[in-house]
Amino acid sequence: MTPEVQNVTVFAGSSLTDAFTRAGNGFAKTNTRVRFTFNFGSSSTLATQITNGAPADVFASADEGNMQKVVDANLLDGAPAAFATNRLAIAVAPGNPKKIAALADLARSDVVLVLAAPTVPAGKYALDALRKAGVIAKPVSQEVDVRAVLNKVSLGEADAGIVYVTDVKSATDRVTGVDIPEQQQVVARYPIAVVKGSPKSALAHRFVDYLVSPDGQKILVELGFSKP
Amino acid sequence: MLKAQVAVRLGNFDLDVAVEAAADEIVAVLGPNGAGKSTFLRALSGLVALDRGRIDLDDVVLEDASRGIRVPPERRPMGVVFQDYLLFPHLSAIENVAFGLRARGVTAREARDRAGSWLDRLGVGGHAEAKPRALSGGQAQRVALARALAIDPRVLLLDEPLAALDASARGTVRRDLRRHLASFAGVRIIVTHDPLEAVALADRLVILESGRIVQAGSPAEVTQRPRSRYVADLVGVNLFRGIATTGHLALPGGAVIHSADPVDGEIFATIHPRAVALHRSRPEGSPRNVWHGRASALDFQGDRVRVGVEGEMRIVAEVTPSAVSDLGLAEGGEVWVSVKATEISVYPA
Amino acid sequence: MRPERPPLLFAFLAAIGVAFVVLPLVGLLSRAPWETALSDLGTPEAATALRLSFVVSLAATALALVLGVPLAWVYARVQFRGRDVVRALTTLPMILPPVVGGVALLFAFGRRGLFGPALDAIGIHLPFTTAGAVLAATFVAMPFLVLTVEAGLRSMDRRYEDAARTLGAGRWLVFRRVTLPLIAPSVFAGAVLCWARALGEFGATITFAGNLPGTTQTLPLAVYIALETRPEVAIALSLVLLGLALAILVVMRDRYLRAF
């Protein structure tokens, strides 16, 4: 009897979209009997969905706070493991026509700035970074997740947005990234955990292990993530 | 004097009539439903554009299709009382009457005063603040008349002014209407399908059938000398059309009857049903016109029975119920018909 | 008349249909923080969103009235080639996913949209502004008004307009003093439906106008954002929307059905 194909449902922050799609394919090379269903969104939305009973097997958050919500709800099978870190960058139009060089430029009146909403991790980190830089900038919109920020910049509606380094890397043809110096950086720590009661917990744990293994880490680093 | 040559084409229907109406007469346009009466009235008032023809009021051209002249309805000096009256349901009676004055730039106060006095003149001053739905048919008609007259028109057009009323109210309202029409010094044209109404209200009838005028004249002329089946049916006489040569009337279908009238050529002939005698067997004696037929329909009307007889020519006879039983008449039964030559009225077609 | 008894299968499916719609509402009510609802609505974020939502939805309704009533009049009264196609196009936003509408608005009036540069040149910026939120709401909500008013115009007795013309009223006066009062119930019904749709608008707004408290964050956006961090505020705001929707349906009752 051949073992059946098992479906593993992964809830992951939207900044992990490219990384997890590739990691899923990498994992499937050695585990042919698995298929992944990914649900990408803002980590806060995902945490809300899981605490309200959404059938996730794995949860990967872009911040520790939202993971903590699920921990507090006593819904995890084991402790969360840090598997990646991410850093912020300023996304601007290709070629940087507005000559934005630093966070301070985001306060310029001729710069249309969008941020993620302060309720989602990317928005919170962006505010932290601006605070570290001593910049008071007024966004014209607080988008629902970091991908929406990236889209507003790539559509040309906004001149700049604060996103993850990995977002810039995934959209090199549509946006240009401007580095944020180390002393103003905010490091986003990505924890991952298996959700309690998952009928596929064995497979789910193997996927988590794969992400922290050298193979998994290689994919993440290629996409711009750093090691935890 | 209103002179109207009206040609309008609406889909398959076309109306092509010429009507003149002087200020001292009341003209009724009478015809069956679908004859084009309302279209005629709408064309006069400018709501429908003429395809051909022209409309002149005294020396003013209101419309001339060939020259592209067309005075829009709001600038024609015409008051219209519509079928169903069409009082604006959201306005009170007095506001309805004041509407035309306001549209002509009269101040609100003055329009109201004048509207109020019109309502008084028409005897509905007590209903000034009533909404149309609270008015009886007769009251609504008077408000509609007041509304049409308040703009001081030179032509008054009425479309089926009594049709919306129930039979019991019609008599009184007709009398009132006649009085009000008499006091209006302008061209008055009534459109109606009701011959009683037309005869009671108008000095001159214009008979309209299928978009064409078939007859015009005083009520007496029209009823005594019908020139169409429609009028003959209204008056209740048998009408024939044929060719007369010295008292011989040749009818379509080959029948020949004899009359005492010495008219020659294309003629109409009418025979009153009461002048048509029915017999069980071939009658003896004087009648020149005798033929054999078959009773096709018996229509009991109180103390009279109308009997349709099919034969050489179709004719309707009017007899008493006792005659029906004496003759043993039944639908499909055989019968002899006789008409005296002196009972046939003949006039040129 | 003898009351009809439904076949068992129909009764069963109808009951499921009711449950399907009602249960989520029950769920919402069961989570409602009744004791704190008022104070939740008094929080600055909720109050701001409430105020903005009223401004935006009323402005959208006003704009829809100004543009939509004449449009409905043209549809009902003017025969022109391609009328059905144009009507279908202007009805599209009613069925189009609102997000698609938002994207379409961006490509038309956004900074890099077809007409964006021209608008920019005369100093009009729509994305990320309250005006943009009004535009997005009008875009999705106007068809409700147009369809309702057109139906009203088609069912009214046009002979009243003829009567007014013969009394000396020009076309504009006829429209103002006769047509408009006669179709007032349809205009009212259309405006209420339009307003309700504008009030609930989410997708086109967030896509075209973004999400900024006090500027473009209307009630539905505030609900969505608050759901993750302050669910009690989100629920309180949802209750406001639910109450308004219910009030609208009660006010409209049979008018809603008659309009279509």
CA distance A204 to chain C (A): 26
CB environment B57-70: b (16+ within 10 A), e (fewer): beeeebbbbeeeee
Bridge partner list, A81? A192
* Residue C151 belongs to a domain: yes
Residues with Cβ within 8 Å of residue B136, at least 6 apart in sequence? B169
Q: Check pLDDT > 80 for residue B286.
A: no
Mean pLDDT, chain C, rounded, equals: 90
Number of C-alpha atoms within 13 angstroms, CB side, residue B263? Answer: 18
Range name among A207-216, C91-100, C245-254 with the lowest pLDDT average: C245-254
What crossing angle do the helices spanning A64-72 and A43-51 adopt, rounded to 10°? Answer: 0
Ramachandran angles phi, psi of B339, nearest 5°: -135, 130
- Considering only CB atoms, A157 lies closest to which of C106, C226, C227, namely C106
Residues with Cβ within 8 Å of residue A218, at least 6 apart in sequence? none
Decide: helix, strand or coil at residue A48.
Answer: helix
What pLDDT, on a 0 to 100 scale, did the predictor assign at position B280? 83
Surface of A (160-219) touching C: CB under 8 A: none
Rounded to a whole number, what is the distance in angstroms from the first to the last CA of chain B? 29
Q: Which helix (H) or strand (E) holds B335?
A: strand B334-339
Chain C residues whose beta carbon lies within 8 Å of the beta carbon of residue B148 = 166-167
Bridge partner list, C103? none
Query: In 3D, which of C209, C232, C210, C211 has the Cα closest to residue C222?
Result: C211
Listed by start position, the domains of chain A span 6-85+190-222, 88-184
Please judge whether C210 and A119 are an interchain contact, meaning their C-beta atoms are less than 8 angstroms apart: no
Which of 2.40.50.100, 1.10.10.10, 3.40.1390.10, 2.60.40.10 is the CATH number of B236-348? 2.40.50.100
Chain C residues whose beta carbon lies within 8 Å of the beta carbon of residue B80 = 163, 166
Ramachandran angles phi, psi of B2, nearest 5°: -100, 125
Higher pLDDT, C53 or C39: C53
What pLDDT, on a 0 to 100 scale, did the predictor assign at position B265? 86
Range name among A36-50, A110-124, B62-76, B249-263 with the lowest pLDDT average: B249-263
Q: Check pLDDT > 70 for residue B55.
A: yes
| DSSP for B75-139, written as a single string | GS-EEEE-TT----TTS-HHHHHHHHHHHTT--HHHHHHHHHHHHHHTT-GGGTT--GGGS-HHH
Count of A-C CB contacts under 8 Å: 58
Chain C residues whose beta carbon lies within 8 Å of the beta carbon of residue A142 = 210-213, 217, 225
The number of distinct structural domains making up chain C is: 1
Please judge whether C111 and A44 are an interchain contact, meaning their C-beta atoms are less than 8 angstroms apart: no
Please judge whether C163 and B78 are an interchain contact, meaning their C-beta atoms are less than 8 angstroms apart: no
Architecture in CATH of A6-85+190-222: 3-Layer(aba) Sandwich (3.40)
Chain C residues whose beta carbon lies within 8 Å of the beta carbon of residue A157 = 106, 110-112, 127-128
Ramachandran angles phi, psi of B216, nearest 5°: -150, 150
- Considering only CB atoms, C210 lies closest to which of A42, A140, A156, namely A140
Specify whether the CB–CB gap between B331 and B298 falls below 8 A. yes
Q: Where are the beta strands (DSSP E) in chain A?
A: 6-13, 34-41, 58-60, 76-86, 88-92, 113-116, 141-143, 160-164, 176-179, 188-195
Q: Kindly list the strands in the beta sheet with B26-30, ordered across the sheet, starting from the edge strand earlier in the chain.
A: B78-81, B155-159, B187-192, B26-30, B204-209, B212-217
Q: Identify residue A69 by its one-letter amino acid code.
A: K
Exposed (0-12), middle (13-18) or buried (19+): which is A70, by Cβ within 10 Å? buried
Under DSSP, the state recorded for B214 is E
Q: Which pLDDT band holds residue B139 (cuts at 50, 70, 90)?
A: very high
Please judge whether C168 and B147 are an interchain contact, meaning their C-beta atoms are less than 8 angstroms apart: no
- Considering only CB atoms, B99 lies closest to which of C162, C167, C182, namely C167
Exposed (0-12), middle (13-18) or buried (19+): which is B320, by Cβ within 10 Å? exposed
Q: Tokens in use for C74?
A: 């043209």
Q: Tokens in use for C112?
A: 């890099």
> Residue B180, Cα to own-chain centre: how many angstroms?
20
Between the CA of residue A160 and those of A81, A92, A148, A168, C202, what are the distances in Å? 33, 5, 12, 12, 24
- Considering only CB atoms, C169 lies closest to which of B82, B86, B103, namely B103
What pLDDT, on a 0 to 100 scale, did the predictor assign at position C260? 38
- Considering only CB atoms, C165 lies closest to which of B74, B79, B147, namely B74
* Best C160, C166, C174, C182 residue to mutate vs chain B (most B CBs within 10 Å): C166
Residues of chain A with pLDDT > 90, as a percent, come to 67
> CA B171 to CA B49: how far, in whole Å?
36
Please judge whether C162 and B76 are an interchain contact, meaning their C-beta atoms are less than 8 angstroms apart: no
* Residue C22 belongs to a domain: no
CA distance A166 to chain C (A): 23
Listed by start position, the domains of chain B span 2-232, 236-348
Q: Check pLDDT > 60 for residue B256.
A: yes
Chain A residues whose beta carbon lies within 8 Å of the beta carbon of residue C216 = 141
Q: Check pLDDT > 80 for residue C75.
A: yes
Q: Which pLDDT band holds residue C255 (cuts at 50, 70, 90)?
A: low
> CA B152 to CA B78: how far, in whole Å?
8
Mean pLDDT, chain B, rounded, equals: 90
Please judge whether A48 and C227 are an interchain contact, meaning their C-beta atoms are less than 8 angstroms apart: yes
Residue with tokens 């977002």: A167
Please judge whether A144 and C225 are an interchain contact, meaning their C-beta atoms are less than 8 angstroms apart: yes
CA distance C189 to chain A (A): 34
- Considering only CB atoms, B82 lies closest to which of C163, C168, C169, namely C163
Chain A residues whose beta carbon lies within 8 Å of the beta carbon of residue C213 = 142
Q: Which helix (H) or strand (E) holds C173?
A: helix C171-174
Chain C residues whose beta carbon lies within 8 Å of the beta carbon of residue A140 = 127-128, 210, 212, 215
What is the predicted ipTM? 0.84
Please judge whether C165 and B99 are an interchain contact, meaning their C-beta atoms are less than 8 angstroms apart: no
CATH class of B2-232: alpha beta
* Best B74, B76, B104, B156 residue to mutate vs chain C (most C CBs within 10 Å): B74
- Considering only CB atoms, C225 lies closest to which of A114, A119, A157, namely A119
User: What is the mean predicted confidence (pLDDT) over C102-125?
Assistant: 89
Under DSSP, the state recorded for C98 is H
> CA A151 to CA C103: how far, in whole Å?
11
- Considering only CB atoms, C160 lies closest to which of B42, B88, B104, namely B88
Architecture in CATH of A88-184: 3-Layer(aba) Sandwich (3.40)
Specify whether the CB–CB gap between B24 and B182 falls below 8 A. no
Touch B-A: 3+ C-beta pairs under 8 A: no
C182 has a chain B CB within 8 A of its CB: yes
Task: Give the neighbours of chain B: at least 3 Cβ pairs within 8 Å.
Answer: C
Q: Which pLDDT band holds residue A2 (cuts at 50, 70, 90)?
A: low
Please judge whether C127 and A157 are an interchain contact, meaning their C-beta atoms are less than 8 angstroms apart: yes
Task: Give the neighbours of chain A: at least 3 Cβ pairs within 8 Å.
Answer: C
Please judge whether B80 and C169 are an interchain contact, meaning their C-beta atoms are less than 8 angstroms apart: no
- Considering only CB atoms, B103 lies closest to which of C173, C181, C182, namely C173
Query: In 3D, which of B204, B95, B85 has the Cα closest to residue B150?
Result: B95
Query: In 3D, which of B239, B240, B238 has the Cα closest to residue B256?
Result: B240
* Residue C18 belongs to a domain: no
What pLDDT, on a 0 to 100 scale, did the predictor assign at position C59? 97
What's the domain range around C53? 38-259
Q: Report pLDDT digits (tens) over B298-324.
A: 888 888 888 888 888 889 989 888 888
Q: Report pLDDT digits (tens) over B325-345.
A: 888 888 888 888 888 888 888
* Residue C17 belongs to a domain: no
Surface of C (132-161) touching B: CB under 8 A: 157, 159-160
Q: Check pLDDT > 70 for residue B287.
A: no
What pLDDT, on a 0 to 100 scale, did the predictor assign at position B145? 94
Residues of chain C with pLDDT > 70, as a percent, come to 97
> Residue A20, Cα to own-chain centre: how many angstroms?
10
Between the CA of residue C118 and those of A31, A55, C124, what are the distances in Å? 56, 49, 9
CA distance C226 to chain A (A): 8
Touch C-B: 3+ C-beta pairs under 8 A: yes
Range name among A98-102, A200-204, C19-23 with the lowest pLDDT average: A200-204
> CA A106 to CA A178: how far, in whole Å?
11
> CA A170 to CA A19: how far, in whole Å?
10
Q: Which helix (H) or strand (E) holds C222?
A: helix C219-229
Chain B residues whose beta carbon lies within 8 Å of the beta carbon of residue C185 = none
Chain A residues whose beta carbon lies within 8 Å of the beta carbon of residue C231 = 48
Task: Give the neighbours of chain C: at least 3 Cβ pairs within 8 Å.
Answer: A, B
Q: Report pLDDT digits (tens) over A156-209.
A: 999 999 999 999 988 888 999 999 999 999 999 999 999 998 888 888 999 999
Exposed (0-12), middle (13-18) or buried (19+): which is A127, by Cβ within 10 Å? middle
Chain C residues whose beta carbon lies within 8 Å of the beta carbon of residue B47 = 162, 165-166
User: What is the mean predicted confidence (pLDDT) over A54-81?
Assistant: 91
